[in-house]
Structure 1
Amino acid sequence: MKLSEGVEAAIHCAALLAGLEEGRTLPASALAEYHGLSPSYLLKHLKLLAAAGVFESVSGPHGGYRLAKSPERISLLDIVIAIEGPRPAFRCAEIRQRGPGALEPSAYRKPCGINAAMLRAEKAWRDELARTRLSDVIAGYQADADPRAIEFGCAFVARHQRP
């Protein structure tokens, strides 16, 4: 399974927004600059996150983005679904029912074993993402990151946040 780069960007943006002071926002341009991403590319994902209720979009001269909920209430699955959508990564097309060896549809009463295995795997990774909170990711980063990276991120947020 391959998730888009947008998922990585979304999680990193969420972690950065968690550092905002109460009621403040960070403009999309600052989020794009911090992560070295195209503003138009990132904006597409920020809008999806806002539509899903993970981020809040604030318009106006002090506008930008902020988390819509506390990091403890945002799971990585919330972010993945906002970016990738709710459909499973594997979609069985029932190709076993095609080709020269295909039988009549009634011969395929049991679900495809490949589909069943893939759905079990999907459930396992989704369950793990649902258990993992944004706050868990942030705590892990703060424990393991180079202090210079943390200091830079905090200073960047302080400089670019809007009232």
Structure 2
Amino acid sequence: MKISEGVEAAIHCAAVLAGIEKGTTLPASALAELHGLSPTYLVKHLKQLVAAKLLESVPGPHGGYRLAKKPSAISLLDIVLAVEGPKPAFRCAEIRQRGPGALEPEAYVKPCGINAAMLRAERAWRAALAAEKLSDVIAGYEESADPRAVAFNCAFLARHQRPQG
């Protein structure tokens, strides 16, 4: 299974937005700069997070983005689903019914065992992501990050966050 870079960017942006002061926003351009991403690329994913009600988009000269919920109320699954959509990662194409040994469709009344196994794994993966909260990711970062990275990020946020006027 491959998760898109957009998921990584979305989780990083949500974690950064958790660090801005109450009543402020951070522009997409600053988030893109911080992560070395194209602003156009990032805005696409930020809009997905807004549509999922994980972020708020504030228009105007002091506008930008901020979290719509507390970090403890946002799971990694919420972010993955906002970016990747709700469909399972594995989609059975019933290839067992193709090829020279394929039987008539009535022979395939039982669900594909491979599909069933993959869907069980998907449910377990989703349950694990649902249990991981953004607040947990942030706490892990605060415990293990190099102090220089923390200082840089704090200074970056202080320079780029926009007060609501």
Q: Any gaps of 5 or more consecutive residues in structure 1?
A: none
* Residue type of the alignment partner of 1:5: E
3-state SS of 1:107 partner: helix
C-alpha separation between the residues in 2 aligned to 1:151 and 1:124?
A: 37
What is the identity, as a one-letter code, of the residue corresponding to 1:15?
A: A
Which sections of structure 2, spanning at least 5 residues, go unmatched?
none
Counterpart for residue 106 of structure 1: 106
Q: Which runs of 4+ in 1 moved over 4 A?
A: none
- Report 1:48-59 matches (<5 A): 48-59=48-59
Q: After TM superposition, give the deviation of residue 102 of structure 1 in Å.
A: 1.2
Q: Deviations over 1:59-114 (max 9, x none)?
A: 00110000010000000000000000000000001111112211111111111011
For residues 59-138 of structure 1, the aligned pairs below 5 Å read 59-138=59-138
Provide the residue aligned with 1:150 in structure 2.
150
Deviations 1:29-56 (A, max 9, x none): 0000000001111011111110111111
What code does the residue aligned with 2:21 have?
Answer: E
Q: Distance in 2 between matches of 1:112 and 1:58?
A: 47
Once residues 98 and 150 of structure 1 are traced to their aligned partners in structure 2, the CA distance between those partners, rounded to angstroms, is: 55
Query: In percent, how many aligned pairs have the same letter?
Result: 79
| RMSD, matched Cα | 0.6
**Count of matched residue positions in the alignment of Structure 1 and Structure 2:** 163
